[in-house]
Amino acid sequence: MDTLTANDTLTASSLPQDSCGRGGCDPLRENRASPPPGRDLYETDFYQWAFHNADLLRQGRFAEIDLENIVEELESMAKNNKRELLSRLTVLIMHLLKWQYQPKLRCGSWTATIGNQRTEIKYLLGDSPSLKHNIETVIAKGFIAAKREFEAETGISAKGLPETCPYTFEQLMDYGFRPE
């Protein structure tokens, strides 16, 4: 396969037949050189490191995997999921606050954002149900951030808002709920 440029379009027929294996399709796979031994690859070419370690795991060559960095990456993935949940709850709560405290400015984009955040949170919790174990703590942190964003965006002082989140988790996830 020739070198890809930004203008190239990949199609199933343009991929080499052996580029799609059990681990999924990787159109650049044949262009990867054999990885050097050791963990240096993690620092120099993450993409190649990831596929190399996936290949080692599939082959059962556990003694050769970069266990330390794999563990780090797995922990990082879990933290990213928690950060995404916090971010989405913050956006959702902020839009519910705007809905409640700025009724004359309600619009379709707020409705869409509220619905979209609920959907994405449900997908996230569906994929990682254990994130729900500390949901009240995440909601509390999201509310603090949402109040700051609400004040910055609307010019309305956050001092007039409740100290704690006025919405329950059930209300936050209820597509029909809009505070009045």
- What does 110-129 look like in DSSP terms, one character per residue? HHHHHHHHHHHHHHHHHH-G
Of 34, 28, 40, 36, which Cα lies nearest the Cα of 3?
A: 28
pLDDT at position 40 = 84
Question: Is-contact 161 167, C-beta < 8 A?
Answer: no
pLDDT at position 37 = 54
pLDDT at position 53 = 95
Q: How many Cα atoms are found within 13 Å in the side-chain-facing hemisphere of 172?
A: 27
Using CB atoms within 10 A of its CB, is residue 98 exposed (0-12), middle (13-18) or buried (19+)? buried
Distance CA 39, CA 134 (A): 35
Distance CA 28, CA 149 (A): 42
Give the residues across from 10 on adjacent strands.
none
Q: Where are the domains of the chain?
A: 25-65, 77-173
Question: Is-contact 35 57, C-beta < 8 A?
Answer: no
| Strand-pair category, 24-25 with 20-21 | antiparallel
Phi, psi of 21 (to 5 degrees): -120, -160
pLDDT at position 26 = 52
pTM beyond 0.85 = no
Q: Which residues of the chain have pLDDT under 70?
A: 1-39
pLDDT at position 38 = 54
